[in-house]
Amino acid sequence: MKQQADTNFNLKEMIQLGATGGVILILLSLFGMVESFVERDIIYKSLSLGIALVFGVIFIFGYLSAKRNGNAKSSVGIAAGLITGLVASAMLAILVYAIEPLTLRAVFVNASPALIEALTFGQEMIPGLMTLVGLSAVASLLGAIIFTLPPVPRSAILVGIIMVITVGTLEELISDVIVNIFKLFDAKKAGKSFAGIFFAKEGLSLQGSVITFVSAAVISTLWKLRSQKMKTSFNKLPPATQKSAKISTLVILSLITIFMPQIIGSYLSEILVIVAIYTLMGFGLNIVVGFAGLLDLGYVAFFAIGAYTMGLLTSIQLPQTTGLTGVQMTFWTALPFAVGASVLWGILLGVPVLRMRGDYLAIVTLGFGEIIRVLALSNFLQPLIGGAQGILGIPKPIVFGFELKTSQELYYLVIIAAALAAFISWRLRDSRTGRSWMAMREDEDVAEAMGINLIKTKLLAFATGAALSGLAGAIFAAKLGSIYPHSFNLLISINVLSLIIVGGIGSLPGVVVGAFVLVGLPELLREFSEYRMLIFGALLVTMMLVKPEGIWPAAVQKRELHGHEEDESGIEPAPA
Amino acid sequence: MRSGRFKNLSIVDSLLWLFRVGIIVLVIWGSYKGLTSGKYTAEVWRDFFIFGLAQGGIYALIALGYTLVYGILFMINFAHGEVFMSGAFTAYFVADAFDKSGFLNSNPIAALSIVMLVSMAMSITIAALLERIAYRPLRGAPRLVPLITAIGASYFLQYAFRGLYGSGKKVYPEPAILSGKWIILGAPVLKTQVVVFVTAVAMMFILYYFVQKTKTGKAMRAVAENKDVARLMGIDVDQVIVTTFVVGAAMAGVAGVLYGLLFKQVDFIMGFIPGIKAFTAAVLGGIGNIPGAMVGGLVLGVIESVGPSLVLEGLGIPAAYQLKDVIAFTMLVLILIFRPQGILGQTLSEKKM
Amino acid sequence: MGILTAKNVSKRFGGLVAVNNVSVDIDEKTIFAVIGPNGAGKTTFFNCLTGFYTPEEGEIIFQGEDIKGIPTDQITRQGISRTYQNIRLFSNMTAIENILVGQEPQLKSSWIGAIFASPGTRREEEEAHQEARRLLRFVGMRGFGDYLAKNLPYGAQRRLEIARALASKPTMLLLDEPTAGMNPNETAEMTDFIQHIRDDLGITVLLIEHDMRVVMGISDWITVLDYGAKIAEGTPEDIRNNPKVIEAYLGTGAAGQVDSAEQIAE
């Protein structure tokens, strides 16, 4: 007994951890993730995504178990990892074994023969399950052993593994990008054969995965060891050199931005356009929620109003009943009307909620959003706005006689719009208006006592947010060419709100990061679309538990020291 | 200066008044037209009303979960609709098995009780896990954080259950004993609706008794009043909060089975709309207030059932049933704007909001 | 007639009369104290003056204009500015930003100017920042400007709140227990500082304070409230020896045992 206490050998904890892992594995299997991911190879014919998922979980739990128990002695940690892994895999094995005798399929649709086949590796039940448990033991041991390694090789190996899985999963997109880059230099063939080194018919080739693993590990190690040194040596450079280095980075970045659609091809451009539209809305909602602290869950309403105004004013296929059939404006003429209509509604819906705070405001705005969606869908307004059939025949924007048809062309329009929104947000944030919004967010009563007119300030926030959302809606309508009420559901409001919070509430770079993570990533993983919302939900919860301030939190503005140079007495160091 | 005295307020206030008067005029005119059009007979109106009561009873049971949690934590448990769904969806399989084995018809009361217990057990499990994993670590975080967590949990649960049980709609079996009508006070009423309504009301009374009279209930009220003081009095606040979630979930579990009986089908997405409706009901009655949630649920159920035919068709709107949800949401918006403390007005201090 | 005159002001909450028929007349550039036991209605009276509450009865004349019932933001624009008993800074904004918000009544630039960074806006912002830095130095908080208000030490938060109030260039400053929670050294500094505000900036100061030494040391005139009603007023000398005041603080019969109100604090 005493010896156990000395070495921290806590069997109960290991088994508990293993049981948690087992429950997760069973759920993942019953959700159907294992059996559908098995069909997708990460490393051609060697490792499928489904198997990587199962052993990945076991690996992680082995690692965690070693972390919990292996402080005193690495052998204890390794044993702990093994025990945890065995418990978890045994639970999974029991599930697989029980599926047929208990006819679990009657309740759990994914407890199918395909799942059994995947987890028994195509063998008979008993030898198959023994293989499963055996391989799990190996995976958990690996996890535990990697934990006991010193930090540098440990992180190198982990980065390598993560990179192989990422590259293997995104194989198609990455090989497309490689080919496209070569295409820019008129060397499509060379590009194809270069990509062929890494990728097989599906997933990475064997040598590709080795190269990916090794290079990721080496780069991450070098980065760990050198980045600090590089930073200091960069700071030692003369200011002029530093400045020109910064300028050239900026030039390179903008060149990349300009050529992006050609580099990444049409599929990724499409995703980028969607991300940019969400970014645009994100900047708008960031003003309302992040700056002014007004929790708006019906933000999609203004998106819809912008889109419908654009549709009604430009469509060439409007039903007679709308009374707008002859209007047929161009995109650019209709745009101010679309934005204007959103602003108007922003103010109209803003007035009744002026005195509401917090959760109540959230619920009322949610109600507004749903009312607008249901009305758009109803037969009642069908003669005016098309009902469930929506509005068709919305023309594309034309710039100097050039029609922006594809996503690769529309990209420039949305990027400019998003940049404009970022610029406006940035200028407003650092102005009297932005400060009034933040003061109101912090303490409404005191803000009013400071001379801030709450009504004007709130309505301005609602109006600005609505304008950006309306702009996004107008572009969205022109991009799709047709709009349906179903496109404007609550999920969009939730998505936009989530992305600004995951990015870092009130933070401008956070909006962009949040849009890439919450909108871009799920779009990239479209083939897993069935599990998209599941992962989205889990990600939101995890994010709030682990890093509630967001991925890129808003920075504190430095204002005092800037401009102090004119004081003869110099700068006093701020006390800690 | 005097002229500018109420400049800011008057514009807003007069707009709000205009809005208020406009709505009232519309409702009265619509109802008048609807009643005088003679499209529906008195029997139809009565059926609408009784169906409204039955569905209102379900809303009320779900609303209790929102109100209990809000009363204690001042957070909207956005995932409560999914707690309701989890119970109803899981219990379906039991009900279906009973139906196939004949137990449902040979022993309907015992069978339905077991179905209900399974539903409650599932809802309670989900709610307790939710509280433990997603909400407890975030107590004291800025308000937005638990709200986002709740939204995330809501989506996770929806799609987790879709993964487990599939995405198709499942048809809830109906015990033979519940088909047909009873004559109550001379009027024929669907048996299902009576059972649903009576069960819902009975559950509400049990809950009310529990909160008012039992020791645990008193602890819950003490924690709602002031957590710190309650802790000083030796109350295990965490335990009480878990109990609150559990009690709310039990009500949602019962509501789930009643929903299955009344609407005859369940699926993974079924929690969302009733969830929002129930929240509306809770706000309608005065959130944080238990009798309020009951009254709010019944009122909302009836208005939703009678309203489209009465007011909207009266106003000449085609296919008014499509706008059923608009009525609920409009009620929500109007209540929050004009009487945020709800029907049984327990005023919330600004700090709580 | 002074800079601010309140005549027969009453404010009720349901059955409770929080402020009962109180009249004060405050002369320009004085330090005027309102004292009284806990719950005497001092802060409620403050809230009536700043427009946070509208009193049911009476009138409030500031610089010759009736300000009763005017929204808070308008009253601030007319030159009354305040601090709070329990510090209410904008906690997630920096010290400088807090002061900048306080300058709101001085600023004219619009959001359009901000987006296009018009010369007028830029000039105004530059001046506002300079003024904010000046105020920061004035309250002795140089170097703290870029700290979030919530991370500042307690004393600094109190001073920052005063700086924020001064930023609106008020003619009258309402301080709600400025020395609450301070040690004797800090209290002495704060007392000096309040005198500075009056002497150097020429601002009339209306003060709620519990610390009798502070009140007796710097006030020109004192009004005593108890149960919402005014029970005494006068110079510190008058108040010191007023048996009614001593009774209000210590209860009936206490007057004989204590010689002066000042002892109460000790």
Query: What does the pLDDT look like over A512-553, one tens digit per residue?
Result: 999 998 888 878 776 677 788 888 888 889 888 888 888 888
Distance from CA of B152 to the nearest CA of C (A): 26
Probe site for chain A from C46, C54, C115, C151 (most A CB atoms < 10 A)? C115
Distance from CA of B252 to the nearest CA of C (A): 39
Q: Same structural domain for residues C264 and C176?
A: yes
Q: Do B2 and C71 touch (CB under 8 A)?
A: no
Q: Do B2 and C74 touch (CB under 8 A)?
A: no
At residue A496, φ and ψ (nearest 5 deg) are: -65, -45
What is the share, in percent, of chain C residues with pLDDT greater than 70?
A: 93
As a whole number of angstroms, the distance between CA A130 and CA A148 comes to 27
As a whole number of angstroms, the distance between CA B249 and CA B117 comes to 12
Please report the pLDDT score of residue C1 as a whole number: 66
Tell me, yes or no, if B5 comes closer than 8 A to chain C by beta carbon.
yes
Q: Do A427 and C114 touch (CB under 8 A)?
A: yes
Q: Do A537 and B158 touch (CB under 8 A)?
A: yes
pTM, two decimals, is 0.86
As a whole number of angstroms, the distance between CA C164 and CA C144 comes to 14
Q: What is the amino acid identity at position A422?
A: A
**In the predicted model, is pLDDT for residue B50 greater than 80?**
yes
Residues of C in contact with B5 (CB under 8 A): 69-70
Tell me, yes or no, if C202 comes closer than 8 A to chain B by beta carbon.
no
Of A21, A109, A14, A138, the residue nearest A69 (C-alpha): A14
Tell me, yes or no, if B144 comes closer than 8 A to chain C by beta carbon.
no
Q: Same structural domain for residues C174 and C68?
A: yes
* B265-266 and C221-226 strand pairing: unpaired
Please report the pLDDT score of residue A572 as a whole number: 39
Q: How far is CA A43 from CA A46, A127, A135, A201, A415, in A?
A: 5, 24, 17, 10, 36
Tell me, yes or no, if B349 comes closer than 8 A to chain C by beta carbon.
no
Please report the pLDDT score of residue C165 as a whole number: 92
Q: Same structural domain for residues C100 and C134?
A: yes
Q: Do A563 and C94 touch (CB under 8 A)?
A: no
* B181-184 and C80-82 strand pairing: unpaired
Q: Taking CA atoms, what residue in B is nearest to A442?
A: B142
Residues of A in contact with C148 (CB under 8 A): 556
Q: Do C74 and B4 touch (CB under 8 A)?
A: yes
Task: Name the least confident of A338-352, A353-367, A402-416, B158-172.
Answer: A353-367
Domains in chain B: boundaries? 16-34+41-350
Q: Do C70 and B9 touch (CB under 8 A)?
A: no
The CA dihedral of A395, A396, A399, A400, to the nearest 10 degrees, is -50
Which chains are within 8 Å of B by 3+ CB pairs?
A, C
Q: Write out pLDDT tens, residues A84-101.
A: 999 999 999 999 888 888
Mean of pLDDT values over A389-403? 84
As a whole number of angstroms, the distance between CA B100 and CA B104 comes to 8
Tally of structural domains, chain C: 2
Q: Do A498 and B152 touch (CB under 8 A)?
A: yes
Residues of C in contact with A571 (CB under 8 A): 143
**In the predicted model, is pLDDT for residue A4 greater than 60?**
no
Of C69, C36, C49, C56, the residue nearest C5 (C-alpha): C49
More confident residue, C48 or B352: C48
Instruction: Judge contact between A312 and A483, C-beta under 8 A.
Output: no
Distance from CA of A27 to the nearest CA of B (A): 8
Residue-averaged pLDDT of chain B: 82
Tell me, yes or no, if B351 comes closer than 8 A to chain C by beta carbon.
no
Say how many CA atoms lie within 13 Å of A167 toward its Cβ. Answer: 26
Tell me, yes or no, if B332 comes closer than 8 A to chain A by beta carbon.
yes
As a whole number of angstroms, the distance between CA A540 and CA B152 comes to 5
Which chains are within 8 Å of A by 3+ CB pairs?
B, C
Say how many CA atoms lie within 13 Å of A429 toward its Cβ. Answer: 22
3-state secondary structure of C247: helix
Q: Same structural domain for residues C62 and C183?
A: yes
Tell me, yes or no, if B184 comes closer than 8 A to chain A by beta carbon.
no
The ipTM estimated for the assembled molecules is 0.89
**Total number of residues shown for chain C:** 266
* C204-208 and C31-35 strand pairing: parallel
Q: Same structural domain for residues C190 and C150?
A: no
Please report the pLDDT score of residue B249 as a whole number: 93
Probe site for chain B from A26, A359, A535 (most B CB atoms < 10 A)? A359
The CA dihedral of A541, A544, A546, A547, to the nearest 10 degrees, is 150
**In the predicted model, is pLDDT for residue A575 greater than 70?**
no
Phi/psi zone of residue B181: left (φ > 0), alpha (ψ -120 to 50 degrees), beta?
Answer: beta
Mean of pLDDT values over A291-306? 91
* C80-82 and C172-176 strand pairing: parallel
**In the predicted model, is pLDDT for residue A302 greater than 90?**
yes
3-state secondary structure of C172: strand
Give the 3-state DSSP-derived string for chain B, with helices as H, strands as E and coil as C.
CHHHCCHHHHHHHHHHHHHHHHHHHHHHHHHHHHHHHCCCCHHHHHHHHHHHHHHHHHHHHHHHHHHHHHHHHCCCCCCHHHHHHHHHHHHHHHHHHHHHHCHHHHCHHHHHHHHHHHHHHHHHHHHHHHHHHHHHHHCCCCCHHHHHHHHHHHHHHHHHHHHHHCCCCEECCCCHHHCCEEEECCEEEEHHHHHHHHHHHHHHHHHHHHHHHCHHHHHHHHHHHCHHHHHHCCCCHHHHHHHHHHHHHHHHHHHHHHHHHHHCEECCCCCHHHHHHHHHHHHHHCCCCHHHHHHHHHHHHHHHHHHHHHHHHHCCCCCHHHHHHHHHHHHHHHHHHHCCCCCCCCCCCCCCC
Evaluated on CA atoms A288, A294, A300, A306, the torsion sign reads negative
As a whole number of angstroms, the distance between CA A182 and CA B277 comes to 56
Instruction: Judge contact between C27 and C221, C-beta under 8 A.
Output: yes
Instruction: Judge contact between B303 and B52, C-beta under 8 A.
Output: yes
Mean of pLDDT values over C196-209? 89
**In the predicted model, is pLDDT for residue B352 greater than 80?**
no
Q: Write out pLDDT tens, residues C130-180.
A: 999 999 988 888 888 888 998 898 888 998 999 999 999 999 999 998 888
* C221-226 and C31-35 strand pairing: parallel
Tell me, yes or no, if C65 comes closer than 8 A to chain B by beta carbon.
yes
Q: Same structural domain for residues C74 and C175?
A: yes
Residues of A in contact with C115 (CB under 8 A): 423-424, 427-428
What is the share, in percent, of chain B residues with pLDDT greater than 70?
A: 92
Q: Do C74 and B9 touch (CB under 8 A)?
A: no
Confidence of residue A468 (pLDDT cuts 50, 70, 90): very high
Interface of B with A in 58-117 (CB under 8 A): 74-76, 93
Residue C124, domain extent: 88-169
Residue in the structure block whose two tokens are 């309505």:
A459
Residue A154 has which token pair? 């440990």
Mean of pLDDT values over A24-46? 86
**In the predicted model, is pLDDT for residue B8 greater than 70?**
no
| End-of-domain residue from the set C110, C138, C169 | C169
3-state secondary structure of C60: strand
Q: Do B1 and C65 touch (CB under 8 A)?
A: yes
Distance from CA of B344 to the nearest CA of C (A): 19
Please report the pLDDT score of residue A466 as a whole number: 94
Any idea which fold B16-34+41-350 has? Answer: ABC transporter involved in vitamin B12 uptake, BtuC (1.10.3470)
Q: Do B152 and A356 touch (CB under 8 A)?
A: no
Q: How far is CA B107 from CA A223, B119, B196, in A?
A: 71, 18, 18
Interface of C with B in 73-92 (CB under 8 A): 74, 78
Distance from CA of A440 to the nearest CA of C (A): 9
Distance from CA of C77 to the nearest CA of A (A): 6
Interface of B with C in 226-245 (CB under 8 A): none
Instruction: Judge contact between B36 and B240, C-beta under 8 A.
Output: no
Instruction: Judge contact between A344 and B309, C-beta under 8 A.
Output: no
**In the predicted model, is pLDDT for residue A566 greater than 70?**
no
At residue C172, φ and ψ (nearest 5 deg) are: -140, 135
3-state secondary structure of A573: coil
CB atoms within 10 A of CB B218: 13
What is the widest separation between alpha-carbon atoms in chain A? 90
**In the predicted model, is pLDDT for residue C126 greater than 80?**
yes
Q: Same structural domain for residues C8 and C56?
A: yes
Q: Do A533 and B276 touch (CB under 8 A)?
A: no
Q: Do B164 and A501 touch (CB under 8 A)?
A: no
Q: Same structural domain for residues C177 and C160?
A: no
Q: Do C164 and A450 touch (CB under 8 A)?
A: yes
Confidence of residue A562 (pLDDT cuts 50, 70, 90): low
Confidence of residue A336 (pLDDT cuts 50, 70, 90): very high
Q: Write out pLDDT tens, residues A161-215.
A: 998 888 888 888 888 888 888 887 877 788 888 888 888 777 888 888 888 899 9
Distance from CA of A305 to the nearest CA of B (A): 17
Q: Do C69 and B8 touch (CB under 8 A)?
A: no
CA B176 to chain centre: 28
CATH number for the domain harbouring residue C53:
3.40.50.300
Residues of A in contact with C155 (CB under 8 A): none
| End-of-domain residue from the set C151, C169, C187 | C169
Distance from CA of C25 to the nearest CA of A (A): 23
Please report the pLDDT score of residue A390 as a whole number: 83
Q: What is the CATH number of domain A263-562?
A: 1.10.3470
As a whole number of angstroms, the distance between CA A215 and CA C24 comes to 80
Residues of B in contact with C74 (CB under 8 A): 4
What is the share, in percent, of chain A residues with pLDDT greater than 70?
A: 94
Q: Write out pLDDT tens, residues B304-317.
A: 888 877 777 777 77
Q: Taking CA atoms, what residue in C is nearest to B5?
A: C70
Residue in the structure block whose two tokens are 């085609």:
B318
Confidence of residue A273 (pLDDT cuts 50, 70, 90): very high
Q: Same structural domain for residues C140 and C256?
A: no
Distance from CA of C70 to the nearest CA of B (A): 5
Residue A243 CB partners (closer than 8 Å, separation 6+):
none
Residues of B in contact with A497 (CB under 8 A): 148, 151
Q: Same structural domain for residues C118 and C190?
A: no
Tell me, yes or no, if B154 comes closer than 8 A to chain A by beta carbon.
yes
| End-of-domain residue from the set C169, C198, C215 | C169
Tell me, yes or no, if C8 comes closer than 8 A to chain B by beta carbon.
no
Confidence of residue B4 (pLDDT cuts 50, 70, 90): very low
Instruction: Judge contact between A437 and A457, C-beta under 8 A.
Output: yes
Residue-averaged pLDDT of chain C: 85
Instruction: Judge contact between C150 and C92, C-beta under 8 A.
Output: yes
Confidence of residue A25 (pLDDT cuts 50, 70, 90): very high
Q: Taking CA atoms, what residue in B is nearest to A505?
A: B144
Q: Do B1 and C71 touch (CB under 8 A)?
A: no
Please report the pLDDT score of residue A563 as a whole number: 45
Distance from CA of B6 to the nearest CA of C (A): 7
Probe site for chain A from B147, B287, B334 (most A CB atoms < 10 A)? B147
Distance from CA of B104 to the nearest CA of C (A): 59
